[in-house]
Amino acid sequence: SGLTQAIIEVGRINKTLYLLNYIDDEDYRRRILTQLNRGESRHAVARAICHGQKGEIRKRYTDGQED
């Protein structure tokens, strides 16, 4: 419908504005990279801690599962 198409176009405009801001603003890129590195570091620690059973969760019930 027309409303659906309008919402899609607004989404495209927002994505374009985000990309232009990302390209233009070096400080913004650094902040995003910092956040990405934090997330990657968190996952690396989680992989290092969860080494038993090759890091796979094998319990079918939630009481035996931990983050």
pLDDT of residue 55: 62
Residue 9 token pair: 């176009």
How many other CB atoms are found less than 10 A from the CB of residue 1? 6
Helical H segments across the chain, by residue range: 2-24, 26-49
What's the confidence (pLDDT) of residue 57? 64
Contacts of 59 (CB under 8 A, 6+ apart): 65
- DSSP letter at 61? S
Give the residue extent of every domain in the chain: 2-49
Instruction: Name the pTM for this structure.
Output: 0.52
Q: Give the burial string for 23-35 (b: 16+ CB within 10 Å, else e).
A: eeeeeeeeeeeee
- 5-54 per-position pLDDT tens digit: 999 999 999 999 999 999 999 999 999 999 999 999 988 887 777 666 66
What confidence score (pLDDT) does residue 3 get? 96
